[in-house]
Amino acid sequence: MASKEYLISILKDNNVFKTGDFVLSSGKKSNYYIDMKKAITEPNILKTIAELIDQAISSEKIDKVAGPALGAVPIATALSLKSEIPLLMIRKEKKGYGTSKLIEGELNDGDNVVVVEDVTTTGGSLLKAIKAIQENGGIVKKAFVVVDREEGAISSLNDEGILIEPLISVNEFF
């Protein structure tokens, strides 16, 4: 059975935590970076993340698993395969061609949705994905993030009525 300790161990083994000078997607500067894009290309890491989230949602009635592009899509896909719950992919913006959808996959009114994310800092991109689901009739039951940087994401999502559960908080690595 997957554990938080095992996930931390394999993330460390894969050098997911880097030190230096970085600019984050939120625009903030940081002296460390969590390279989850590297992590989510490793099957064992994806499998472990999916198992941990699946354990946490197994007793709930969840209709869809969603992940915002790009980093969360492999996580949501792994969870969808593990749980056998259909997948939704949330684009950063509507595409200007084809069906012009913001959400790929079948979202029905009243669907209970779990949203996953790779890393959160302020929670802005995760909140944008959650709002897209809500505006299209979905009910976001909970959000999971693999690593929370502990820079406001949990409180800002709680302020919006969204429960977010980090698998790991960044201080658990240092």
pLDDT, residue 100, reads: 52
The answer, yes or no, to whether residue 98 has pLDDT greater than 60, is no
**Is 1 a residue whose pLDDT tops 80?**
no
* CATH numbers and ranges of domains, the chain: 36-173 (3.40.50.2020)
Q: What is the mean pLDDT of residues 146-160?
A: 93
Say whether pLDDT at 137 is over 90. yes
11-19, long-range: CB within 8 Å, 24+ apart, which pairs? 11/39, 11/45, 11/147, 11/168, 11/173, 12/173, 14/38, 14/39, 14/42, 14/45, 17/173
- State pLDDT tens for residues 33-44: 999 988 999 999
Mean pLDDT, range 74-90, rounded to an integer: 97
Check: pTM over 0.95? Answer yes or no. no
